[in-house]
Amino acid sequence: MAGWWAYRLGLGGIRLWLEGDATERARRVVMREGGELEDALDANRQRRAVDGARFQELYGLQPEDAEPYSHRLDASRLNAAAVVEAVVAMIEEDSE
């Protein structure tokens, strides 16, 4: 949401969206919280639908819409350290 508000307010800086494919997101939920992969996939799909409807109703936007984001990073195959490294590189490149 911060990316959307920064965009709507015309604020500068990097507005980053972290992508993750559905299976990897579910796998990470299972690693963190336990359970079965199929259940996590289903729960994530349901949450995405509910969140999308709520944000559309309240704010007139879809959080995953690419419009407000200056940068997108697919973190599906990256661990936390690699995500940080990629984001730092984006910041450094943007500041040059």
Q: State how far the alpha carbon of 94 is from the alpha carbons of 49, 65, 70, in Å.
A: 33, 22, 10
Partners of 71 in the beta sheet? 16
Interval 30-67: pLDDT, tens = 999 999 999 999 999 999 999 999 999 999 999 889 99
Question: Which range of residues forms the domain containing residue 83?
Answer: 2-94
H helices of the chain, in order, are 2-8, 22-33, 37-59, 80-94
Task: Please give the tally of structural domains in the chain.
Answer: 1
Q: Is the pLDDT of residue 3 over 80?
A: yes
For the segment 69-93, the average pLDDT, to the nearest whole number, is: 95
Q: What is the pLDDT at residue 85?
A: 98
Average pLDDT, the chain: 94
Partners of 52 in the beta sheet? none
For the segment 81-85, the average pLDDT, to the nearest whole number, is: 97
Q: Is the pLDDT of residue 96 over 80?
A: no
Report the CATH number that the domain containing residue 27 is assigned in CATH: 3.40.50.300
Contact 69, 3 (CB under 8 A): yes
